[in-house]
Structure formats: C-alpha cells, structure tokens
Structure 1
C-alpha cells in the first residue's frame, strides 16, 4: 500500500477515505488510533491515507481535485445576496453534510467500539 494523502487530522483522513471509497478506490487510514496517545508514542503521530499500489494514480486524481477546490467565501452585499456565495452554496451544503455524516460515523463507531471493549472486559 502506498500513501495517497497525509492528513492534518483524523476527520480530514476519514473525509478523504470516504471520497476515495465513493469512487470505488479502497483506502486504509494508518495512524488514526495513535493520534494523541501517551507514553512511548509521540503525541503528533502522522495520519496517512493509503491505497493499493495499482490504484494510486486514481486516488491521487481524486485527492488533487479535492485539494484544488475553492474555499467558500460568503460576502453579504446590501441586498443580502452575493452571486459568488449563491453559486457556491450547493457545494458548501454538500461539504456541511459530508462533515456532519463524518461526525455521526465517528460517534457511532466510537460508541460501538466502547461497547465491544466493555463486553470484552466483562468476560
């Protein structure tokens, strides 16, 4: 497996992984459980999104397209509408939905993991 993306944080890594998998590119996040660990491990462990060697070019194309996206800027004019903001609002809405779904997935996944760990600890 080869590194397709170096994430700034865990949410960023999951977002990229979900985008890749939506395009049919299986992806794996390395280092997500090490971030912020204490003791022998450094607290700033790198989080990597990896893909198989044969899908690297496809993955980099998806990541490059995402990285080249324009940030959404909302400037209200006197009428309360800005043409640029109105044109980018659907993109902003999709991004907000993606982040919300990512948040829900992390919360649900964490809850399930906690429940499994408790059951394992009980016997």
Structure 2
C-alpha cells in the first residue's frame, strides 16, 4: 500500500477515502489514534489515506481533480497556510520550555 493523500485531519481523510471508494478504489484511513496525542489541540498532519499499489496513479488523478475543483470554488484553505500545524508546533515548544524550566529549578 502507498500513501495517496496526506490529510490535515480525520474528516478530510474520510472525505478523500469516500471519493476514492465512490470511484471503485479501495482505501484505508490511517492515523486515527494519533489525533489525540496533543489532547484538545487539533493536531494536524497525522492522518493519511492509503491505497493499493495498483490503484495509486488513478487515486492521485482523482485527488488532483478534487483539489483543483475545491481550489477553484474557494472552498479550501491552501495547504501552505495550515494554522493548526503552526499552533501545534508553538504549543510543543511552550511545553518543552516549561518542562526545561522545571528541570532546571529542581
């Protein structure tokens, strides 16, 4: 199996998986248990949509069509501006700084 799509979150991954299944391509959404690793913060980038090797090229074609249609309609935030991932990184940096402060204090 190959990763056909790196989703920002579970709903997006399941939308893509549904699109692929509707077009006759079996898919699997991975990363369900990684979403809660940061508690209530919307962790991003842990969910992937997997397809069989034989279906990879067709899946990428369908996904490209979907992304093109979503971008043309203005429905989707461009992938380069992922604020969820930005805040998750700053939160992890803050947690690391607090933990380091406690370690040095004691």
TM-score band, normalised by shorter chain:
0.5 to 0.7
**8 Å CA contact 2:32, 2:47 repeated in 1:** yes
2:66 matched to which residue of 1? 66
Distance 1:27 1:60 in 2: 12
Of structures 1 and 2, the one scoring higher in RCO (CA 8 A, sep 6+) is: 2
**C-alpha contact (below 8 Å) 1:27/1:51 kept by paired residues:** yes
Is contact 1:30–1:48 with CA below 8 Å preserved after alignment?
A: yes
Which of 1 and 2 has greater Rg? 1
Contact 1:31 1:45 in 2 (8 A): no
In the TM superposition, structure 1's runs of 4+ consecutive aligned residues that sit over 6 Å from their partners are none
Unaligned runs of at least 5 residues, structure 2: 76-106
Deviations along 1:42-89, one digit per CA (max 9) or x if unpaired, are x5561100000000011001100001111258xxxxxxxxxxxxxxxx
Distance in 2 (CA, whole Å) between partners of 1:56 and 1:13 is 16
RMSD: 2.1
Aligned-partner SS, 2:49: strand
Aligned partner of 1:56 in structure 2 is 56
Alignment-derived partner of residue 15 in structure 1: 15
